[in-house]
Each structure stands twice: as structure tokens, then as C-alpha cells.
Amino acid sequence: MAVDGSVLRVAVAQPGDGSSLRDSARRHAGLIRRAGADLIVFPELSLTGYHLDARDVAVDATELGVIADACHDSGCTALIGAPISENGQRYIAVLRIDSTTTSVVYRKCFPGADERPHFAAGPGPCAITVQGWSIGLGICRDTGVAAHVADTAALDIDLYACGVVHHRWELDEQRRRAARIAEACRSPVAMASAAGRTGGGYDLPAAHSAIVTSAGEIAADAGTAVDAVVACDLQLRRALGPAVMREPYPPRPTQRPGVRQRDTP
């Protein structure tokens, strides 16, 4: 639990797809160095792009060394999206990379319909600690599951960090989710959203990675540019526990004419 009044510099980044794991790792490392943050959050499956058949990433992959070096030089902890394999199961996961270790810290709990043939569901909500701050984690569709958000809020977190991939026409829904999570958790939200064409039919992703205050206001927005990164200082203001959601969460997005409705990942 962070001390009331302590400050954490948080960044969200939105790299484009790399041509290889090595290229992608270098792009991530460059964004880490540019951000100058204590914590940086990347989108869902950011290391491979949203390609469900991409090769799984091992935590000891040599290609990740440039990211660890950037974290060491910047004093930063990075939360990065990647597909992983554990005990015969594949997961959409969050890797934590810092100056000393690379580890899997979270596995997506609610894979979408297109993801379920490829990936298993993770075990449940969790929180990690970065510089004394308790940080709850989520990946895309998790952010739209009321029970998951409530269970994460119950961990008494100081910040909710998540990586997502949405269509541009789902941007309003993306922003609603961030605001509602902030309300539910009584904490800021760092939501990193993919930018630039990727797999899964995401020809024009939502982008607009953002940091949202505990009041639901946008404190920083990365816009639509590929390889954009934004950061801001968050000052901890302890609240009196998680809020209670007062309405169904989240509203179902309006189907765009001529587009087949499917689960938001």
C-alpha cells in the first residue's frame, strides 16, 4: 500500500506491430526511454501484435534484453502484453519487466469468442506492487466484466492498469470503461490501447491510450499516432474503499451498420 501523497510517474504507450520479436522489443525499449516514467503500460499482445497464432514469448527470450536494459537505465517497470505458454496451456498475458527480472504477472481471465480456441482463461484478479503502489491488472475484455472489476477493486488497489485492443468505432466504449473502472476502484486508470493496423480485423484500432483520474477525467491521451507515449505524475489520495457500481456495467456497444457484432476482446 502506497503512502498517502506519494507520487508515481505513469506512462501509456501504443507501439505499432514489429516485423519480428526483436524489432518489437526495440520499439518497446525506445518508448520506455522516451517516457521517463516509473511505470509504463503497453496494449494487449503488444509484443506480437493482435495475431492469435503468433509464436509464444518466453520470459527468458534473448530479444527481451533490450527492454530490460531500457528499464534499468530509466528506473522503470514495464507491463507488456504477450502470448505465453505454461503447463500445456496458452494465455494472453502481461509480462512485468524491470531492471532485475522478467516475469508473467497476469493472465487474461475472460478471452473473447475468437480467442477461446487459442487461449485458456487465467486464474483470476491480481495486484502487483510497484514502488509501494498496489496495481490491479486487466486485459481488454476483462475491463468490461463487472465481477472482475469489482474483485480487482476489492484488492484495495492504488491504480488499475490494463492493455486493450479496440476498433476506432469502439472508442466511446473504451472511454466509458476507463471511467467506470476509476469509479469502481476509486483509483486512476492507465489504459494502453493499440494503434496502427494489426491482426484480427483491426485495420483501424481505437488508439487513444489514456491515463484517467480517479474522478474519471482524462489526464493524458496519446491520440492516434503509432509509437505515441504520454505520461503524467499521479499523486496518491487514499479513498474509503472501492465504490459500488450503480448501474449495469458496461453498456453494450452499439453495432455499427454492416459490421458483425462480436465480443470486444
Per-residue pLDDT tens over the stretch 20-31: 999 999 999 999
Tell me: pLDDT of 102 over 80. Answer: yes
Per-residue pLDDT tens over the stretch 222-234: 999 999 999 999 9
CA distance linking residue 170 with residue 49, whole number of Å: 18
Strand 189-193, strand 159-164: pairing: parallel
Q: What structural domains and CATH numbers belong to the chain?
A: 7-235 (3.60.110.10)
How many CB atoms are located within 10 Å of the residue 54 CB?
17
Per-residue pLDDT tens over the stretch 154-199: 999 999 999 999 999 999 999 999 999 999 999 999 999 999 999 9
Confidence of residue 257 (pLDDT cuts 50, 70, 90): very low
pLDDT at 4: 61
Average pLDDT of the residues of the chain: 91
Q: What is the DSSP track for 32-56?
A: HHHH--SEEE--TTTTT-S-TTSPP
Q: For helices 21-35 and 65-74, give the axis angle rounded to 10 degrees.
A: 10
| Range 211-239 burial, b when 16+ CB lie within 10 A, else e | bbbbebeebbbbebeeebbbbbebebeee
Alpha carbon 222 to its chain centroid, in Å, reads 14
CA-wise closest residue to 163 among 82, 76, 226, 90? 82
Q: Which amino acid is at 16?
A: G
| Sequence-separated (6 or more) residues with CB below 8 Å from residue 254 | none
pLDDT at 252: 36
Instruction: Kindly state the cell numbers that stand for 108.
Output: 487474461
Q: Which amino acid is at 176?
A: R
Task: Name the residue with higher pLDDT: 249 or 199.
Answer: 199
pLDDT at 236: 82
* Span 82-101, average pLDDT: 97
**Sign of the dihedral defined by the CA atoms of residues 26, 200, 80, 227, in that order:** positive
* Span 242-262, average pLDDT: 39
In degrees, rounded to 5, the angle at the alpha carbon of residue 9 between the alpha carbons of residues 11 and 37 is: 60
Q: Which residues pair with 164 in a beta bridge?
A: 193
CA distance linking residue 34 with residue 223, whole number of Å: 16
Instruction: Kindly state the cell numbers that stand for 146.
Output: 463487472
* Span 70-97, average pLDDT: 98
CA distance linking residue 47 with residue 56, whole number of Å: 10
Residue at grid coordinates 508515481:
8
Q: What is the DSSP letter of 155?
A: T
Provide the whole-model pTM: 0.90
Tell me: pLDDT of 19 over 70. Answer: yes
Per-residue pLDDT tens over the stretch 108-146: 999 999 999 999 999 999 999 999 999 999 999 999 999
Confidence of residue 260 (pLDDT cuts 50, 70, 90): very low
What is the Rg, in whole angstroms, of the alpha carbon atoms belonging to the chain? Answer: 17
